C-alpha cells in the first residue's frame, strides 16, 4: 500500500498527466494530506451528508470535482472515462479502482462534458 | 525513479503555501444543522387536479434527479408515476401521483440485509448506495412499488442526486433541498405543479401549512390498512 | 451378521468420468461469462425488470439452498434418529449438503446488482432483516457441517459426531425456516404473506434434498462400480414418497387457507385457475410431474421393483421442485401489487397488470451453472475425501442381515 502511495505522491515528478485545479483556488487541506488521506476524508464526509443531512461540505466529493475537474486542451470537461480526468489520471497510474463515479457525477455541477 | 528529497520537498511545499494564501477558501457553512429528530417531513397531495394535468410533477422530478428513459419501459426507473384508479362498479375514475411514501415503519428498511435502506431521523427514507448490494429485497417488500433498480450504466448524474447501476433508488423527497432550506423548502414536484396540488411541510409542527390543512380538511393514506403510516397523504381519494 | 462399513475416495479414471468434469466446468464457465455480461451491461439484458425483480437465478439458488439442508437429512436420520442403516450414507449426505449450499449461494451472489460488494454483506448487518439472518445461517451451516463431517471421519472425534449431528440438524431446521420466511413475511405481496411458508420450505427441503441425494449417489456409485443394495434403496424410495406426500399436503393447506380469505381469492384464482403459464406449471409441473407421478412410480405395484423408476421419480421430484419454486417466486411477482383493493389500477409503470417474464439466456446459464458448481464440488470432494461407503449392498447396510 505504502508503495502505491509513494507512487502517487511523486506523480507530478513523473511524466503522467495531472490536470490543474481551478485557477485561484486553494485546496481544503494540505497537498500531502490530500494525497495520502483523501479517501478517508471523503468517506467520513459521505456518512455525515447522507445519514445526518449535514452538507457543510468541507470534505465533500462535490467540491473536489468542482475545483479539480477542469477543461482540457479541447475546451471540454473530461469525465471519469477519460485519462485526463483528475481522479482518473492518478488512479489509472496506481491501478486503484474508484467506485465513486458509478453513482456520482464526475464533472462539475451544471457543466456539460462538451460545451 | 525520483527519490523524495527532503530539502526539495520542504522548499516546494512552503513555496506553494506562500503563493496560494487564501484566495477562494471555502465559505460553505450554510446549514450544517442536518436532519432533526423533531421534524417529520411529509407531503399532502390534492388529487382532484390530477386527472387532466400534463404530468408536470413527473417531468420535474425526473429532470431534478436526472432520471432518464432508455426506451425500455420494463426496466426504466420511474421515481414518481401517475396511477389511474377506476371503480369497476361505479366507473368512477381518478388519478394520483405515487412515489416513495416515506413510511414511519418502512418495510424496505426492515428487510434490507445491510442497512442500506434507512430512515433519517426526520422521517425521510433513503438508500445508502455505498452499501447497497443490489439484492432487491426492498423492492419485494414495498407495498407501493416505489423502489427502482438501476438496470443500466449511468453517466452525468446530477450532483445532488447520485444514482448508479446495480443499486436501488427511490424518491428522496428532494432531501438536498430540505437540508438547505428546512421547512421553507419546496420539492421539485411541488414547485412544478401548475395547480399547486402538492404541499410539502412538517407533519410534527402543528402550525405548519400542511398540518393546518390536514386538521381542517383531513386526508387519506394509500394502503392505510397496512399501518405503515406513510408521510405522503392524499385528498380526493374518493373511490 | 452385518459387515463393517468402510469408506474410501472415489478413484474412477474413465473417459466418461473426466468428460463429466469437463462438462460441469464448461457449464460453470458459460455461467461466469453470462455474469460478466450482466454486470457489464446491467440487468436490462436479462428478463428481470422493475416488475419481476427476482428471476430464474433466484429460482435455482433457492432450490439449491433448500435442497442443501434437505440433503443433510439422511445424515441426521442416522445421528439424531438412530436409523443405523443410513450411517453408511451420512458422510456423503453431509458433504453434498455443503456442495448444494455452495452452488446455490454462488448463483444468489452472482446475480446481485453489486456482487463486488459481497464483503459489505458480511460486514454490515441489519438484524431486523431475515436476509441478514440468512447470511449468518448460511455461513454457520458451512462451519457446523464441516465440523460434523470431521467428527464423523476422525475416529478420535466419533464420540462427538452425534452431538454435532444434532446441532447441525437443529441449525438446518432454522436455516430452511429462514429461507422460507423470506417469502413468508412480505405483507406487501399477496402471494407471500403466509407464515406457512417457513414450515412448507422445511418439508420441501426434505423432499428435494433427498431426491437430489439419490441421483448424486446413484451417479457416483455407478461411475465407480460400487454396489447399492435393495435394502437401502428401498428405504430411500419409501422415504421420498412420504416427503412428496407431505409437500402436497402443505401445498393444499396453503392454498385452501388463501382461498378462504376474501382478500386473497383473486390471487388464488390467478394461481390455480387462471389463463396463464403459472397455473399450467402448478398443475402439470408441480402437482402432476413433481408430485403424483413420482408417487405412483415409487409406490405403484408394477414400478416398485425397478431401480430405474426410482431414479426417474427422484429426477421428477427435482424437476417438480424447480417448477414449484418458479411458481412461488415468479408467479407471486407476476400478480400485481394491490394499491387499492377492489379497484382497477393502470399506469405507465405496469401497475395493475399481470407482469410478464421471459428468462434470458444469461439467467438460464447462471442458474444451470449453480447446479454444475454443486456437481463439480461433490465429485471433487468425494475424490479427495473418503465420504462414500465402499459398499452399500444389504450385507453392509441391513442391521438384520442374515446370509441365505
Question: What does the pLDDT average to over B47-57?
Answer: 92
Task: For residue C21, give how far its alpha carbon lies from the nearest alpha carbon of chain B (Å).
Answer: 31
Which residue in the set B128, B166, B180 is minimally distant from A50, CB to CB? B128
Domains within chain B, CATH numbers bracketed: 42-235 (3.30.70.20)
Residue B12 pLDDT level (bands cut at 50, 70, 90): low
Euclidean distance between CA atoms B2 and A10, whole angstroms: 8
Contact yes or no for A26 and B180 at CB 8 A: no
Question: What does the pLDDT average to over C314-332?
Answer: 97
pLDDT tens figures, B74-122: 999 999 999 999 999 999 999 999 999 999 999 999 999 999 999 999 9
Residue B29's pLDDT is what? 41
Describe chain A by its helix, strand, coil percentages, rounded to 5: 45, 0, 55
Contact yes or no for A30 and B13 at CB 8 A: yes
Kindly state whether B27 is in contact with chain A, defined as any CB-CB distance less than 8 angstroms.
Answer: no
**Subunits close to B (at least 3 CB pairs below 8 A):** A, C
Strands B125-127 and B148-149: unpaired
pLDDT tens figures, C122-141: 999 999 999 999 999 999 99
pLDDT tens figures, B119-172: 999 999 999 999 999 999 999 999 999 999 999 999 889 999 999 999 999 999
C157: pLDDT strictly greater than 70:
yes
Of residues B228 and B34, which shows the higher confidence score?
Answer: B228
Give the three-class secondary structure for C228: strand
Euclidean distance between CA atoms C333 and C53, whole angstroms: 8
Q: What are the DSSP E strand ranges found in chain B?
A: 41-46, 81-86, 93-98, 117-119, 125-127, 148-149, 168-169, 198-202, 232-235
Euclidean distance between CA atoms B157 and A61, whole angstroms: 14
State the complex-level ipTM: 0.91
Residue B27 pLDDT level (bands cut at 50, 70, 90): very low
Kindly state whether B233 is in contact with chain A, defined as any CB-CB distance less than 8 angstroms.
Answer: no
Euclidean distance between CA atoms B220 and B227, whole angstroms: 12
Residue B19's pLDDT is what? 43
Shortest CA distance from B2: residue in chain A: A13
Question: What does the pLDDT average to over B213-234?
Answer: 96
Residue C212's pLDDT is what? 98
pTM, whole model, 2 decimals?
Answer: 0.91
Task: For residue B163, give how far its alpha carbon lies from the nearest alpha carbon of chain A (Å).
Answer: 4
Question: What does the pLDDT average to over C155-176?
Answer: 92
The residues in B 158-187 lying below 8 A from A, measured between CB atoms, are 158-160, 162-167, 175-176, 178-180
Kindly state whether A33 is in contact with chain B, defined as any CB-CB distance less than 8 angstroms.
Answer: no
The residues in B 98-137 lying below 8 A from A, measured between CB atoms, are 118, 120, 122, 126, 128-130
Q: What's the half-sphere exposure (Cβ side, CA atoms, 13 Å) at C371?
A: 19
Shortest CA distance from C131: residue in chain B: B113
- Top residue of B8, B17, B28 to mutate, by most chain A CBs within 10 Å, is B28
Kindly state whether A10 is in contact with chain B, defined as any CB-CB distance less than 8 angstroms.
Answer: yes
How many B-C residue pairs are in contact by the CB < 8 A criterion? 168
Query: Which chain C residues have a beta carbon less than 8 Å from that of B141?
Result: 186, 188
A48: pLDDT strictly greater than 90:
no
Radius of gyration, alpha carbons of chain C? 22
pLDDT tens figures, C344-371: 999 999 999 999 999 999 999 999 999 9
Query: Would you kindly state where each structural domain of chain C is located, as residue ranges?
Result: 12-386
Concatenated DSSP letters of C191-216: GG--TTHHHHHHHHHHHHHHHHHHHH
Task: For residue B212, give how far its alpha carbon lies from the nearest alpha carbon of chain C (Å).
Answer: 27
pLDDT tens figures, A10-24: 545 444 567 888 888
pLDDT tens figures, B171-223: 999 999 999 999 999 999 999 999 999 999 999 999 999 999 999 999 999 99
Contact yes or no for C114 and B73 at CB 8 A: no
Residue C305 pLDDT level (bands cut at 50, 70, 90): confident
pLDDT tens figures, A88-101: 988 988 999 898 99
Euclidean distance between CA atoms B226 and C263, whole angstroms: 13
Question: What does the pLDDT average to over C294-312?
Answer: 87
Residue B13's pLDDT is what? 52
Shortest CA distance from A77: residue in chain B: B156
Euclidean distance between CA atoms C141 and C145, whole angstroms: 6
B25: pLDDT strictly greater than 90:
no
Query: Which chain C residues have a beta carbon less than 8 Å from that of B114?
Result: 120-121, 124-126, 132
Contact yes or no for C44 and B86 at CB 8 A: no
Residue C263 pLDDT level (bands cut at 50, 70, 90): confident
Which residue in the set B26, B35, B178 is minimally distant from A52, CB to CB? B35
Kindly state whether A48 is in contact with chain B, defined as any CB-CB distance less than 8 angstroms.
Answer: yes
Contact C212, C67 (CB under 8 A): yes
Class of domain C12-386: mainly alpha
Task: For residue B153, give how far its alpha carbon lies from the nearest alpha carbon of chain A (Å).
Answer: 8
Query: Which chain B residues have a beta carbon less than 8 Å from that of C188?
Result: 107, 140-143, 226
The residues in A 82-101 lying below 8 A from B, measured between CB atoms, are none
Contact C75, C88 (CB under 8 A): no
Query: Would you kindly state where each structural domain of chain A is located, as residue ranges?
Result: 2-94
Amino acid at each position: 500500500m505504502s508503495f502505491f502511495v509513494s507512487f502517487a505522491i511523486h506523480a507530478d515528478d513523473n511524466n503522467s498527466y495531472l490536470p490543474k485545479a481551478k485557477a485561484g483556488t486553494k485546496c481544503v487541506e494540505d497537498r500531502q494530506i490530500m494525497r495520502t488521506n483523501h479517501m478517508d476524508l471523503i468517506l467520513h464526509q459521505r456518512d455525515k451528508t447522507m445519514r445526518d443531512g449535514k452538507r457543510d461540505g468541507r470534505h465533500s466529493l462535490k467540491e473536489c470535482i468542482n475545483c479539480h475537474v477542469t477543461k482540457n486542451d479541447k475546451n471540454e470537461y473530461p469525465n471519469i472515462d477519460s485519462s485526463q480526468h483528475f481522479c482518473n489520471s492518478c488512479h489509472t497510474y496506481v491501478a486503484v479502482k474508484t467506485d465513486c463515479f458509478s453513482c456520482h457525477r464526475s464533472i462539475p455541477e451544471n457543466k456539460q462534458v462538451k460545451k | 525513479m525520483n527519490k523524495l528529497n527532503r530539502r526539495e520537498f520542504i522548499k516546494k511545499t512552503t513555496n506553494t503555501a506562500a503563493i496560494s494564501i487564501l484566495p477562494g477558501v471555502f465559505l460553505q457553512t450554510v446549514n450544517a444543522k442536518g436532519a432533526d429528530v423533531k421534524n417529520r417531513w411529509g407531503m399532502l397531495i390534492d388529487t382532484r387536479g390530477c386527472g387532466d394535468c400534463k404530468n408536470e410533477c413527473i417531468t420535474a422530478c425526473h429532470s431534478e434527479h436526472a432520471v432518464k428513459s432508455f426506451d425500455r419501459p420494463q426496466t426504466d426507473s420511474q421515481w414518481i408515476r401517475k396511477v389511474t384508479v377506476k371503480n369497476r362498479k361505479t366507473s368512477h375514475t381518478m388519478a394520483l401521483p405515487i412515489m416513495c411514501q416515506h413510511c414511519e415503519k418502512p418495510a424496505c428498511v426492515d428487510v434490507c440485509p445491510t442497512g442500506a435502506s434507512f430512515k433519517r431521523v426526520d422521517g425521510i427514507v433513503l438508500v445508502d448506495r455505498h452499501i447497497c448490494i443490489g439484492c432487491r429485497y426492498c423492492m419485494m417488500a414495498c407495498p407501493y412499488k416505489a423502489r427502482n433498480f438501476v438496470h443500466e450504466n449511468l453517466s452525468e448524474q446530477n450532483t445532488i442526486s447520485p444514482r448508479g447501476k446495480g443499486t436501488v433508488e427511490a424518491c428522496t423527497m428532494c432531501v438536498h433541498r430540505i437540508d438547505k432550506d428546512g421547512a421553507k423548502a419546496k420539492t421539485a414536484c411541488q414547485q412544478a405543479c401548475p395547480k399547486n396540488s402538492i404541499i410539502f411541510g412538517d407533519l410534527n409542527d402543528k402550525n405548519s401549512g400542511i398540518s393546518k390543512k390536514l386538521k381542517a380538511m383531513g386526508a387519506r393514506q394509500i394502503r392505510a390498512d397496512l399501518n405503515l403510516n406513510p408521510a405522503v397523504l392524499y385528498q380526493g381519494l374518493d373511490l | 451378521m452385518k459387515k463393517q462399513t468402510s469408506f474410501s475416495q472415489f478413484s474412477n479414471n474413465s473417459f466418461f468420468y473426466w468428460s463429466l468434469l469437463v462438462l460441469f466446468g464448461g457449464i460453470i464457465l458459460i455461467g461466469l461469462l453470462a455474469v460478466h455480461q450482466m454486470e457489464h451491461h446491467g440487468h436490462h439484458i436479462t428478463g428481470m425488470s422493475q416488475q419481476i425483480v427476482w428471476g430464474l437465478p433466484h429460482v435455482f439458488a433457492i432450490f439449491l439452498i433448500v435442497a442443501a439442508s434437505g440433503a443433510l437429512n439422511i445424515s441426521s436420520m442416522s445421528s439424531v434418529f438412530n436409523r443405523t442403516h443410513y450411517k453408511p450414507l451420512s458422510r456423503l449426505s453431509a458433504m453434498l449438503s455443503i456442495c448444494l449450499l455452495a452452488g446455490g449461494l454462488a448463483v444468489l451472489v452472482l446475480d446481485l446488482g453489486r456482487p463486488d460488494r459481497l464483503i459489505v454483506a458480511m460486514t454490515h448487518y441489519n438484524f431486523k432483516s431475515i436476509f441478514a439472518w440468512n447470511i449468518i445461517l448460511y455461513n454457520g451451516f458451512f462451519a457446523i457441517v464441516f465440523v460434523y463431517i470431521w467428527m464423523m471421519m476422525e475416529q478420535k472425534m466419533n464420540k462427538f459426531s452425534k452431538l454435532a449431528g444434532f446441532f447441525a440438524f437443529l441449525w438446518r431446521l432454522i436455516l430452511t425456516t429462514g429461507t422460507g420466511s423470506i417469502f413468508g413475511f412480505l405483507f406487501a405481496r399477496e402471494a407471500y404473506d403466509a407464515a406457512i411458508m417457513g414450515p412448507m420450505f422445511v418439508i420441501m427441503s426434505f423432499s428435494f434434498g433427498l431426491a437430489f441425494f439419490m441421483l448424486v449417489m446413484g451417479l457416483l456409485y455407478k461411475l465407480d462400480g460400487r454396489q447399492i443394495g435393495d435394502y437401502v434403496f428401498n428405504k430411500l424410495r419409501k422415504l421420498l414418497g412420504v416427503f412428496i406426500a407431505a409437500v402436497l399436503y402443505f401445498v393444499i393447506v396453503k392454498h385452501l387457507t388463501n382461498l378462504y380469505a376474501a382478500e386473497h381469492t383473486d390471487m388464488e384464482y390467478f394461481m390455480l385457475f387462471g389463463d396463464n403459464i403459472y397455473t399450467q406449471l402448478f398443475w402439470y409441473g408441480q402437482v402432476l410431474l413433481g408430485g403424483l407421478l413420482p408417487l405412483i412410480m415409487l409406490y405403484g405395484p408394477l414400478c416398485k421393483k425397478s431401480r430405474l423408476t426410482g431414479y426417474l421419480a427422484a429426477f421428477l421430484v427435482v424437476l417438480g421442485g424447480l417448477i414449484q419454486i418458479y411458481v412461488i417466486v415468479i408467479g407471486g411477482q407476476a400478480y400485481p401489487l394491490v394499491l387499492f383493493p377492489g379497484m382497477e389500477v393502470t399506469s405507465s409503470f405496469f401497475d395493475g397488470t399481470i407482469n410478464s417474464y421471459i428468462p434470458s439466456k444469461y439467467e438460464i446459464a447462471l442458474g444451470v451453472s449453480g447446479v454444475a458448481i454443486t456437481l463439480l464440488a461433490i465429485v471433487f470432494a468425494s475424490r479427495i475425501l473418503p465420504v462414500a461407503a465402499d459398499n452399500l449392498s444389504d450385507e453392509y447396510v441391513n442391521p438384520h442381515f442374515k446370509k441365505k
